[in-house]
Amino acid sequence: MSTEENKAVVRRYFEEARNKGDLGVVEEIFASEYIRKTRRGPQPGTHEGQKEIIVRWRAAFPDYKDVVLSLVAEDDYVAAQVLFSGTHTGVFEFGGLGPWAPTGEHMGVLEFFLYRLADRKIVETSAVWDRFDFVEQLGLGTTPAPTLTA
């Protein structure tokens, strides 16, 4: 696939699966088994697991929206810079955060993704986002001040 075709697959994921909640897209663009590179190391990913992630976020933030700010592709990789936002009106629990009752607060957080694709499918994914900023925007804590030592 060309880099432009790879970028189109990734853009479709954000626009159709995450923004519109079309879970059928997950099976079309993710390999049946893929690798999720997380802060806890590589984890196996499945269609059902990816769908659950989308459902959880959309349940906690019904007005959830991803804005793709940039996509950069090289070889089989696509990097995405995304601003995700929404209003916390449902219970939230994800990735060791929560469960948190709705706060009614609106948040907007920058996230960076790196995808590897093969045969028009996402086979590897990783994401980095500012959890402290997210928690602070929801009114659930404050970002710790940096500690300086001599």
Paired strand residues for 70: 81
Provide the pLDDT for residue 143: 57
Closest CA to 111 of 66, 47, 51, 74: 66
Label residue 148 by pLDDT band (50, 70, 90). low
Label residue 10 by pLDDT band (50, 70, 90). very high
pLDDT mean over 17-32: 98
- Could you tell me the residue ranges of all domains in the chain? 3-137
Q: What is the pLDDT of residues 51-74, one digit of tens each?
A: 999 999 999 999 999 999 999 999
d(CA 27, CA 62): 22
Label residue 1 by pLDDT band (50, 70, 90). confident
pLDDT at residue 141 above 90? no
pLDDT at residue 149 above 70? no
Q: What is the mean pLDDT of the chain?
A: 94
Paired strand residues for 119: none
d(CA 4, CA 19): 21
Q: What is the pLDDT of residues 95-139, one digit of tens each?
A: 888 999 999 999 999 999 999 999 999 999 999 999 999 999 999
pLDDT at residue 82 above 90? yes
Q: What is the CATH number of domain 3-137?
A: 3.10.450.50
pLDDT at residue 33 above 70? yes
Provide the pLDDT for residue 150: 57
